[in-house]
A and B are shown apart, each in its own frame.
Chain A
Amino acid sequence: MTWLTLISDLITYGFISYTVFLLSGYILIGIYSIGVVKNYRHKNSFTNYRLLAGSTQTPGISILAPAYNEGANIIENVRSLLSLHYNNMEVIIINDGSKDDSMEKLIDVYDLYKSDFFVDEQIPTKNIRGIYRSRNFIYSKLIVVDKENGGKADALNVGINVSGNDYVVCIDVDCILEQDALLKLIKPFLESPLERVIATGGVVRIANGCEIENGRLMKINLPDQFLPRAQTLEYIRAFLLGRMAWARLNGLMLISGAFGAFDKEIVIKCGGYDHKTVGEDMELIVRMRRYMEERDLPYKVAFIPDPLCWTEAPASYKILGRQRNRWTRGTIETLKFHRIMFFNPKYGSMGLLSYPYWFFFEFLAPIVEFGGFVFFIISIITGSMNWIFFLSLLGLIYSFGVLYSIFAILMEVLSYNQYRSRKDILNLIITAILEPILFHPFVVWSAIQGNIDFLRKKNAWGEMTRAGFSTTKKV
């Protein structure tokens, strides 16, 4: 046996072991999510949310929606937020130094005036230019903050400082929320007397192709374009299987920045969102959990599987690449900031399960995949490629990938069944077959670019141009 074959052996068996490890992890997650989704559905089947909607006993919620150059849809988006079913809430729009006419439009349409408002800067932020309230009584729940540009994390921190309620719901201003989204999101906070619920996340779904009118979702359609459709499948997989399983283990490390509710007191004690990372949503959850673990306080991060928030997914490879690049950098930064938890029993399941999962499954997986591809090229060049073995392994991974997606579709059909027509489901199945070939390699490549950009210390968000809901399909 030469050194070359020994190295080749090590790499090959390393890949095989990693693959088996990864596939086993996904199988466990898939199985584990079944019970929790089923339980939630049963429990929810006779819960009367109207009771909360009209009650004066409910806790106050502040919705925080940062907006940067959202002038095209800001009026509709704010109207949509104001119409949500919840009695005791305020809507705080944070204009993060937009260069467009967002502020002028808001002032004009909502009859805003600059009010005297003392902001208790519990979390340091960029300067606030002014705080606006409406003269019109029907918009009394609306607060608009105009501030210097400082990024999403900074805008959310301003919102936290301005908010007057115990719970904050952080959302992307262009997301479409179901009318009962807040009622469902706040319930876990009220139901757990023994463990403090520090945050609750909800499922985010893809709105491309759906019918939207006046900021409301009228009809759910599967996107026509392949990329948004592949992301639809990816989101179903991630939210319905992954996050539900992790929630059951109380090991959630991420609540989507597009839609999540937080216990404000803990957020402030942790110092709010970190503007030094592009993965501020994940980083905050990890820091909050770490805070609770280090003080030995019983806590929970809850997650609900109802599709409550609809967002527009990137429809071009260019924008998708930027998004995935940023997500990768955010993951690496968060893992780096909190590396003390890696296999550290002091942090319980967080240190022994969640963090290692993110390290091996989310951070390392694209690197290993890319490494495998490089090894494949080298093997071809050096003529040492065993094609039968290679194709067998490829077939194994591909078939498992398709199986996992098909299982996610099954879970969707059995639970929420949002895409009811046979045509839509067939389209999803075809997407599951094509996704590992046409979508996944690009995602891996974007993650590799994210790693490179991280090493180059690039920390830009990358412009996320959206087509806007007005251009989505209307039947």
Chain B
Amino acid sequence: MNYPEISSLINFHSWIFGIGVVIFLFVVTILIICIYILIYLYIVNKRESKFERWKFISDTLIRKSIFFEEDESASSGNLLLKVLEVNTFHIPDRVKKLLQNPHFKHVLITDLIAARQNMTGAAGQNLKNLFKQLELDKEVILMIKSNSWYLKAAGIQYLGVMEMVEHMNLILPYINNERGLIRVEAQNTVVKFSGFEGLRFLDSAAFLITEWQQIKLLEELSQLPGENFTGIDKWLKSSNYSVVVFALKLARNYFRFELYDNVISCLRHKNDEVRRQAILAAKELQTAATASDLIKFYGLENEKNKLAIIKVLEDVGTDAEFSFLTAILDEASNQLKMAAAKAIAAIGDNGMETLESYPNADRYPYNQIISQVKAEMK
């Protein structure tokens, strides 16, 4: 390991010098990062103590605006009108002064949004009034106009939570935004503002609606009184398969029996998930023909969807389906066998007897399947 001699290509001293420089740079970087961390922590911890005070002020302000409702309720018979009349709250001077601090503003906005998400009715309206009175909506609009995607998305969400319908035009351009998060928040906000009418964005939805977004939309819609909204039939024919999936969920959740034929036609769709959702929707919109409609497609389906069909037959099947279900007991998949056994047992008064009279009922796995089905039916 005698390096001055080992290579004529590289000078030994240059090597050592080079390594020394790199070590020096590493050590300097370590020191800079350590100092940065300690200064950062100092600032964060200092802000933390301030933050607690700000949080207290913010909570007090919010509580007062909510308590106003309770005070009035004791003295007034017409609570809602009284509350809605309130446009101005008393804002202490120190709060007004603090509002010039962007960190405090951020705390207040976050608290108000969190509180608003938990409050409805008059208390929620009060929070909205307070939000506007403090001109926090202007702050949120600045967020939406910023270049940062997450500020835009958060701003859109905040406008939605605060139900600032007057800003609808600001939101609409984002409902087909290529940034998923902005698009999702914009779509949700439009639904918050316009209810079922807000679902019109599905007419031209250029991007896939994720399952997460579908859950959010369905939860949002569940807060609204059910109404006979239009558009599902159109969405069931959309070229965007995720729109069809969502439309099927809507048809199912809102019991749109008139769409039964459209739902059944989705059983021919090339997408597996669309067909699965169509099977589930058919269960909720069932007619006398549902069992036979589903059985027609059984042989063409993958195992997951076959399972879904059998589970639907458990609810919609009649004695007429015994022979079909009994034949499934001979199929290779144990999952299908189990589902078929449950369906047979659940149909009619003599389902259990039919199941027990299956020729292989005393053999594995049928004996165990039947035991479980029996135990579950007790």
- Chain A contact residues, CB within 8 Å of chain B: 1, 5, 8-9, 12, 42-43, 45-46, 48, 51-52, 55, 57-59, 115-118, 120-122, 187, 189-194, 265, 379, 384-386, 388-390, 392-393, 395-396, 399-400, 402-403, 406-407, 409-410, 413-414, 417, 420, 422, 425-426, 429
Contact for B374 among A42, A116, A403, CB less than 8 A = A116
**A406 cross-chain contacts in B, Cβ below 8 A:** 30, 33-34, 37
CB distance from B273 to the nearest CB of A (A): 10
**A8 cross-chain contacts in B, Cβ below 8 A:** 1, 6
Would B1 and A395 count as touching, CB distance under 8 A? no
**B80 in the interface (beta carbon within 8 A):** no
Contact for B181 among A1, A43, A118, CB less than 8 A = A43
Per the bound structure, the CA–CA distance linking A410 and B19 in Å amounts to 25
Per the bound structure, the CA–CA distance linking A426 and B375 in Å amounts to 60
The number of chain B residues with a CB under 8 A from chain A is 59
**B15 cross-chain contacts in A, Cβ below 8 A:** 389, 392
Per the bound structure, the CA–CA distance linking A45 and B117 in Å amounts to 15
**B219 cross-chain contacts in A, Cβ below 8 A:** 51, 55, 57
CB distance from B76 to the nearest CB of A (A): 33
Q: Give the dominant DSSP class at B's interface.
A: helix
Would A400 and B211 count as touching, CB distance under 8 A? no
Per the bound structure, the CA–CA distance linking A403 and B28 in Å amounts to 10
The proximity string for B residues 23-63 relative to A, scoring 1 for CB distances below 8 Å and 0 otherwise, is: 10011011001101110111011001000000000000000
Would B16 and A392 count as touching, CB distance under 8 A? yes
CB distance from B214 to the nearest CB of A (A): 7
Per the bound structure, the CA–CA distance linking A469 and B74 in Å amounts to 51
Would A45 and B37 count as touching, CB distance under 8 A? no
Of B95-103, B254-262, B284-292, B364-372, the one contacting chain A is B364-372
Would A116 and B26 count as touching, CB distance under 8 A? no
**A52 cross-chain contacts in B, Cβ below 8 A:** 215
**B374 cross-chain contacts in A, Cβ below 8 A:** 116
**B189 in the interface (beta carbon within 8 A):** no
Q: List 20 A-B contacts (CB under 8 A).
A: A9-B6, A9-B7, A42-B149, A42-B150, A48-B117, A51-B216, A115-B372, A117-B372, A189-B211, A384-B2, A386-B3, A389-B1, A393-B19, A396-B22, A399-B26, A406-B34, A413-B40, A420-B48, A422-B42, A429-B37
Per the bound structure, the CA–CA distance linking A403 and B16 in Å amounts to 20
When C-beta atoms are compared, the residue in chain A nearest to B17 turns out to be A392
**B218 in the interface (beta carbon within 8 A):** yes
Contact for B215 among A190, A384, A422, CB less than 8 A = A190
Per the bound structure, the CA–CA distance linking A402 and B372 in Å amounts to 59
Would B41 and A425 count as touching, CB distance under 8 A? yes
When C-beta atoms are compared, the residue in chain A nearest to B341 turns out to be A118
**B68 in the interface (beta carbon within 8 A):** no
Per the bound structure, the CA–CA distance linking A388 and B23 in Å amounts to 14
Chain B stretch 321-348: residues in CB contact (< 8 A) with chain A: 334-335, 338
**B12 in the interface (beta carbon within 8 A):** yes
Known A399-B27, A406-B33; judge A414-B40 contact (CB<8 A): yes
Per the bound structure, the CA–CA distance linking A22 and B11 in Å amounts to 24
CB distance from A120 to the nearest CB of B (A): 4
The proximity string for B residues 350-378 relative to A, scoring 1 for CB distances below 8 Å and 0 otherwise, is: 00000000000000010011011011000
Would B38 and A402 count as touching, CB distance under 8 A? no
When C-beta atoms are compared, the residue in chain B nearest to A376 turns out to be B1
Would A385 and B117 count as touching, CB distance under 8 A? no
Per the bound structure, the CA–CA distance linking A320 and B374 in Å amounts to 50
Contact for A12 among B1, B42, B214, CB less than 8 A = B1
